[in-house]
Structure 1
Amino acid sequence: MIIIAGYSRYKDGIERDAAVAAFADMVGRARQADGCVDMAISADALDPERSNLFECWRDKAAWDAWRKVAKAPRLKVRATENQVNLYQSDKAERL
């Protein structure tokens, strides 16, 4: 299982919201992609400059296939900070 998680920061809430909205189509397509367990890019509930990213993929092959067709939007705003990590796990437990 592949998990990509982290956050981006923007100058203000308006730029953050524009970035989150720009990714809506890509998130919808990812959720339909083979091997996508979940994907979300959302506004942080506490910090108006922060957006959160979460992706979970069945395996690296599925994630690699998605990356070839993802076509991220060209943003009109730029993040001031990105902190995103890839995690690999061979185990998942349902809670």
Structure 2
Amino acid sequence: MIIIAGKVWVDAAERDAYLAGCGKVVEQARVSAGCLDFALSPDPVDPGRINVYERWESEADLARFRGAGPEPAQAARIRDAEVARYLVSGVEAP
């Protein structure tokens, strides 16, 4: 399993519009083969921060969906990012 998690920052005044522009990507991801979860959400404390969480069955599923990454116009609006890829070897129920 692959988890992509972290945060990106955009101008606070543009965050809602940025997230609204990501709606189709979220919908596409969630119906893609191997997608277990996909969410982009506004941070409740930092008005410019967006929290990123993705969970995929395999590297191949992620690569098939990911392609080249965000659209150039979307990528240009990102001021900073701290996103990492995690390989999960096992899962335990709480």
Answer whether TM exceeds 0.5 for this pair: yes
Return 5+ residue gaps in structure 1 as ranges. none
Any residues of structure 2 matched to 1:1-95 within 5 Å, and which? 1-12=1-12, 14-68=13-67, 72-73=70-71, 74-75=73-74, 78-95=77-94
* TM-fit CA distance, 1:71: 6.8
Q: Deviations over 1:21-40 (max 9, x none)?
A: 11111001100001000000
For 1:42 and 1:66, locate their aligned partners in 2 and report how far apart those are by CA, in whole Å: 20
Return 5+ residue gaps in structure 2 as ranges. none
* TM-fit CA distance, 1:76: 8.6
- Secondary structure of 2:33's counterpart equals coil
**TM-score, L = length of structure 2:** 0.87
Moved over 6 A (4+): none
- Secondary structure of 1:15's counterpart equals helix
CA RMSD of aligned residues (A): 1.9
For 1:32 and 1:63, locate their aligned partners in 2 and report how far apart those are by CA, in whole Å: 12
**TM-score, L = length of structure 1:** 0.86
Q: Deviations over 1:55-77 (max 9, x none)?
A: 00001111111113x87443296
For 2:5 and 2:40, locate their aligned partners in 1 and report how far apart those are by CA, in whole Å: 10
% of aligned pairs identical?
Answer: 35
